[in-house]
Structure 1
Amino acid sequence: MEAQKKLLVVAHVPSPNTLKLRQAVVDGARHEDIENVEVRVLAPLEAGPEDVMACDAIILGTTENLGYMSGALKDFFDRSYYPCLEKTEGLPFACYIRAGHDGTGTRRAIESITTGLRWKRIQEPLICRGDYRDEFEEQCRELGLYVAASLDAGLI
């Protein structure tokens, strides 16, 4: 049997709608056709560098707060950045942003930190903009499925 790959989902979920988005990501990643990927889900305040170093890929989720990522995700990066620097270079990652406005400041902040860590972005950030729509859940499900399937197939 092939060794299980580890996908870490670190997402801030301060509302019922953001919980739906995280659950959609997880549901996609745990699709029945994905055979060799273990999905671990942590809140940013619970996740740390040891979790990042133990995973094979990561999906980050955040709300847009005052044109920036959530304080919880920023705290995760603050605690993880230096311990992970040079140890997680090339880590495949994707992210989704629940943005009430345009999400560009949040995207820029995540890109700046992940560029410093030398992580490998495997797809453009998913930005769920404006008023909440049910289609955001399907987009998040597809994100989780894409990352897990790519990991399962050895593409990332």
Structure 2
Amino acid sequence: MDSTGKKILFVVWHSRTGAAKQMAMAAVEGARDVIAELQAAHQLNIIIKEAHEADTPDLLQADGMLFCAPENLAALSGAMKEFFDRCYYGALDRLNGRPYALLISAGSDGSNAARQAERICTGWRLTPIAPVHIANLHAQTAEDILAPKKLSKQDYEACKTIGGTLAALLL
């Protein structure tokens, strides 16, 4: 909760080619839609930070969290992993029961990155509000992997729904 008494939805993201950022922003859009629909702007604040800017105090003040990152080489992206590494022990046993959601962008699978992040969130004793959403972008060649990405409408809408659900649970 912030100093004005608003609950806080904290969104942490990392993206190399744009897909994970689009996922995070779609979730934020969904959260803002719910806030507007419920006329609850005075009740929930959304804080959005890139993984390299986020820190333990951000987590501790958050009432709910959304983590969004790409899978790189069958693992969570380095910048997101660094965020978790940097904040893990400072937040350990201090986030118990808070809701979270996880969004992963992947070239073909994404399940290893999802498992890795879920294990961290389990260690923090966070409560998932939905299954991990993995956007499979079917990037298999070096050229496709490095190219800027565009989410499908289906993935965009799924991310909006998850963001809206998380916001609704906090209100």
Q: Quick check: TM above 0.5?
A: yes
Give 1:15 deviation, angstroms: 2.5
Q: Which whole-Å deviations, capped at 9, do the CAs of 1:71-129 have from their partners, x for residues lacking one?
A: 11101111110000011111211110011111110111011111111111121111111
1:146 aligns with: 165
Aligned residues: CA RMSD: 1.5
**Separation (CA, whole Å) in 2 of partners of 1:82 and 1:12:** 21
CA distance in 2, matches of 1:12, 1:43: 6
2:49 corresponds, among 31, 42, 51, to 42
Question: Percent identity of the aligned residues?
Answer: 33
The residue identity in structure 2 corresponding to 1:18 is A
C-alpha distance after superposition, 1:27-55 (max 9, x if no partner): 11111124121100000110010000000
Give the corresponding residue for 1:112.
119
2:20/2:103 contact within 8 Å kept? no
- C-alpha displacement of 1:14: 2.1
Unaligned runs of 5+ in 2: 139-150
Task: Work out the number of aligned pairs and report it.
Answer: 151
Structure 1 match to 2:130: 123
- Deviating above 3 A after TM superposition, structure 1's stretches of 4 or more consecutive aligned residues are none
Q: Is the aligned partner of 1:16 residue 2:18? A: yes
Select the residue among 10, 24, 27 that pairs with 1:25. 27
Where structure 1 has 5 or more consecutive residues not aligned to the other structure, the ranges are none
Q: Which amino acid aligns with 1:33?
A: E
Asked whether the equivalents of residues 96 and 140 of structure 1 are also in contact (C-alpha less than 8 Å), the reply is: yes
